[in-house]
Amino acid sequence: MDTNIKHIGVFTSGGDSPGMNAALYAISKAAEINNIRLSGIRRGYEGLIDGDFVKLKPNEMQKIVHRGGTVLKTARSSRFLTLEGRKLALNNLLKNKIDALIAIGGDGTFKGLLVFSELCELPFVGIPGTIDNDLAGTDFTLGFDSAVNTAIDNIDKIRDTAESHNRIFLIEVMGRDCGYIAINAGLGVGADAILIPESGQDFVRLLDKIKNYESEDAFIVVVAEGDELGAEITASKIKELNPEVDLRITKLGHVQRGGNPSALDRMLGIRLGAASVTALMNGERNVMAGILDNQLKFTPFDSVVKQHQVNEELYELLKTLNT
């Protein structure tokens, strides 16, 4: 056990995601039990650069396990992309006598830590916190399940109006350049078609169906925001084929990032939060904590940020169900 860890810094970075507060609660509790001082760093890398450090009290964190967003706030930091910014961040860590860092964020956050490790020798442990589910080394990222549930709730509502009017709806969901939210939300609502960045065949399947569309029912298409055509171009191609169709586009947007975390995300945050403190005490460094096949696993940052592939079985499922 590495008893040199007396003071840990923790921050949330990139897009917020439901479950981040649950992870912060578990980190604060595990630190307290192990007599480790914990400093929260506000606004991700921005707060590291500005020295914006706060106390995280476990008894207060306990009360926000159920809340979405991140109590530490988060940011995308252009200053951290510069060596000058990273040197300021290092100075603040040294000045505050921080022995180790826990970062909750997505692939950009871990790329940042990889670059930072060239300058800073402190051990880092990451927790996958992004709704996109675009990281290797974990079956699910924190917030993905909640975001899919939010998308499903909203698309169910759109179906009511789509069926009443016999309309085609193209519904854009988040995920950056990854189709996981679209696949899960689309299958979960019984969509007629799902368009994702990873597939070249989905648009062909959609066109085949639209050719036979009789305008006597709803037609629901879930489109990942990173899809190569996207909702607008897809809509214009459908109109070219059949100018008479009644079609609407809805972009679900940031509603997918908000709301209370699902049970799954609360548990994921709590498991990974506690594990990250134990990992640092055990001498782990530059790894991301994740759950693979329901087992806790630690994967080096350089492996988790490699291009994430959509699960082959899900990809085949779209073909099997002709969606």
Ligand X SMILES: Nc1ncnc2c1ncn2[C@@H]1O[C@H](COP(=O)(O)OP(=O)(O)OP(=O)(O)O)[C@@H](O)[C@H]1O
Ligand Y SMILES: O=P(O)(O)OC[C@H]1O[C@](O)(CO)[C@@H](O)[C@@H]1O
Please provide the distance, in angstroms rounded to a whole number, between the alpha carbons at the two ends of the chain.
51
Under the binding rule (CB under 6 A), the answer on residue 132 touching ligand Y is yes
Would you state the structure tokens that stand for residue 111, as one six-digit string? Answer: 């790329």
Q: Which residues ranging from 93 to 122 are in contact with ligand Y (CB under 6 A)?
A: 106
- Both tokens assigned to 110: 């871990």
Judged by beta carbon, residue 20 or residue 162, the one nearer ligand X is: 20
Q: Cβ distance 146 to 265 under 8 Å?
A: yes
Q: What is the dihedral of CA 15, 276, 291, 63, to 10 degrees?
A: -60
- Tell whether residue 227 is a contact of ligand Y (CB under 6 A): no
Residue from 16, 107, 132, 265 carrying the catalytic annotation: 132
47 binds ligand X (CB under 6 A): no
Directed axis angle between helix 107-116 and helix 83-95, to 10°?
80
Q: Give the whole-angstrom CA distance, residue 158 versus residue 168.
A: 10
Q: Which residues in 170-189 contact ligand Y (CB under 6 A)?
A: 174-176
Residue 174 binds which one of ligand Y, ligand X, none, with CB within 5 to 8 A depending on kind?
ligand Y
Q: Which of 205, 257, 266, 308 binds ligand Y (CB under 6 A)?
A: 257
Residue with tokens 């809509």, as numbered in its chain: 235
Asked if 112 interacts with ligand X (CB under 6 A), we say: yes
Compute the distance between CA of residue 88 and CA of residue 270 in angstroms, rounded to an integer.
31
| 185, 151 contact by CB (below 8 A) | yes
- The site map against ligand Y for 196-225 (x = CB under 6 A) is -----------------------------x
Residue 107 touches which of ligand X, ligand Y, none (CB < 5 to 8 A by kind)?
ligand X
Task: Give the C-alpha separation, 212 to 274, whole Å.
Answer: 53
Closest separation in Å from C-beta 130 to ligand Y? 5
Q: Does 130 bind ligand Y (CB under 6 A)?
A: yes
* Residue 129 sits in the site that holds ligand Y (CB under 6 A): no
Q: How many CA atoms lie within 13 A of 6 on its CB side?
A: 3
| Residue 208 appears among annotated catalytic residues | no
Contact status, residue 286 vs residue 301, Cβ threshold 8 Å: yes
Q: Interface residues with ligand Y (CB under 6 A)?
A: 15, 76, 106, 130-132, 174-176, 225, 257
Q: Interface residues with ligand X (CB under 6 A)?
A: 13-15, 45, 76-77, 80-81, 105-109, 111-112, 115, 130, 132
- Please list the active-site residues: 132
